[in-house]
Structure 1
Amino acid sequence: MTRAKVAPETVTVHIPFRLVKRGGRKEMQLPDGASDQRKTDNTLTKALARAFRWKRMLESGEFVTIAELAEREGIAPSYMTRVLRLTLLAPEIVGAILNGRQDAQLALAGLLEPFPVMWTRQVELFD
């Protein structure tokens, strides 16, 4: 019968990463080639959900104008208009955001800026 070797008391693991600010939060960024399980960006996901919900409410006739809906939601109509633009994003970009596969630099503030309406141009811009 052979004896097992005694395990050391301390094990040191080195994981290369750096902290980057993203949407006001600090996030770990792994080096190129390292596999990472990205988490979905809750801020982007929530903004997409709101945008599509508001679009449905406007299309259904529940609210006639953006101003009326913005008043009900307690937000500025200009902000609502910018968030509603997210419904014009290419399906690939929306899917990437919902699956946590969007570019690490993509943040809500950038998406609220004007972007091309053509999906192919969006994919080029946000890729």
Structure 2
Amino acid sequence: MTTATSVTVRVPLTIRRRGGRKLVVTPDGSAPGVAPARTRADPALVKALARAHWWKRLLESGRYASLGDLAKAEKIDRSYLGKMLRLTLLAPDLVEAILDGQQPDGVTLPALERKTEPPRPFKNQRLTLCTHGF
């Protein structure tokens, strides 16, 4: 007759929300022998980035003379338009990370809307966005 033995294995992990989904993060950021989980880009953030760049193009082309004119044509609040246009100042590597769903924790559309303006130069953005205010 054999007796049942139980073994308890404890794995420290963290559950984080990213793009509306829950993501399990192990201490080293990966799980051995398991392919990294595919992430999904935050659709609201991607849409806001696309719109911001579109609006910037419209302003730069001269189609609209001012933020007020563009806001009126798009039927949106001028201050909202100004906040969204600041997304065009994000560093290219951050934009790429957002599009790949790999943005740093806390980099969400509401968090970016609360920021006054992304810091320049680009090399300082990732440090500032990841350590302050998120």
Q: CA deviation at 1:117?
A: 2.5
Q: Which blocks of at least 5 consecutive residues in structure 1 are unaligned? A: 1-15
Aligned equivalents of 1:100 and 1:123: distance in 2? 15
In structure 2, distance between residues paired with 1:19 and 1:106 = 12
- One-letter code aligned to 1:73: E
Give CA-to-partner distance per residue, 1:10-29, whole Å, 9 cap, x none: xxxxxx87464x67x4x212
Residue aligned with 1:30, SS: strand
Task: Confirm or deny that 1:119 pairs with 2:122.
Answer: yes
TM-score (norm: length of structure 1): 0.77
Which deviates more from structure 2 when the two are superposed, residues 104-113 or residues 67-76? 104-113
Partner secondary structure for residue 101 of structure 2? coil
SS of aligned partner of 2:76: coil
CA displacement at 1:125 relative to structure 2: 2.0
Partner of 2:66: 65
1:104 matched residue in structure 2: 105
Contact 2:67–2:78 (8 Å) recurs in 1: yes
Show the counterpart of 1:29: 23
Q: Contact (CA 8 Å) 2:52, 2:88: kept in 1 or not? A: yes
Distance 2:110 2:16 in 1: 19
Question: How much identity, in percent, do the aligned residues show?
Answer: 39
Given that residues 16 and 25 in structure 2 are in contact (C-alpha distance below 8 angstroms), is that contact kept between their aligned partners in structure 1? no
Greater Cα offset, 73-82 or 109-118: 109-118
Q: CA RMSD in A?
A: 1.9
Tell which has more relative contact order, 1 or 2 (C-alpha 8 A, sep 6+): 1
- Alpha-carbon distance between aligned partners in 2 of 1:19 and 1:65, rounded to the nearest angstrom: 40
